Structure 1
Amino acid sequence: MSAKLYITWLTNMNTWYSAGELQGRLAYALMSIYAPCPKKFQQYIQYDLEPVLYGNMICGICIMIFGRKAMALIRIFYRVVFAVGGTFMFCEASLVYFRWIRDSFPDKSIEPICLGYFGGRVFMVHLLAYLYHVDTRTLMPGYLRPKYDMRYEYMYHTY
Structure 2
Amino acid sequence: MMTTETVLTEEEQWRNLVQNFCLAAIFQGRLSYCLMSIHAVNPHILNYWLSFDLYPYLWANMVYGITIMIYTRPSLRVISPFNRMVFGILGSLMFNHSSMICYNWLSTIIPDNSYFLTFMGFLAGRIMMVHLLAFLYHIDTRTNVPGVIVLRNSTFESMYSR
TM-score by length of 1: 0.88
Aligned to 2:86: 81
What aligned pairs does 1:7-156 form with structure 2 within 5 A after superposition?
Answer: 7-146=12-151, 148-155=152-159
Equivalent pairs counted in the alignment come to 155
* 1:150 Cα deviation after fit: 3.5
Distance 1:32 1:98 in 2: 7
Distance 1:145 1:45 in 2: 42
Bigger drift between 134-143 and 122-131 goes to: 134-143
Distance 2:107 2:45 in 1: 11
Bigger drift between 93-102 and 41-50 goes to: 41-50
Structure 1: unaligned runs, 5 residues or longer: none
Which secondary structure does the structure 1 equivalent of 2:58 belong to?
Answer: helix
CA contact (8 A) 1:31 1:50 kept: yes
Identity of aligned residues (%): 37
Equivalent AA in structure 2 for residue 33 of structure 1: I
Equivalent AA in structure 2 for residue 50 of structure 1: Y
Equivalent AA in structure 2 for residue 15 of structure 1: N
CA contact (8 A) 2:74 2:145 kept: no
* 1:158 Cα deviation after fit: 5.4
Distance 1:39 1:100 in 2: 18
Cα deviation digits, residues 52-84 of structure 1 (max 9, x gap): 111110000001110123321111222111111
**Alpha carbons of 1:6 and 1:40: their partners in 2 closer, same or farther (altered >3 Å)?**
closer
Bigger Rg, which one: 2
Distance 1:149 1:119 in 2: 23
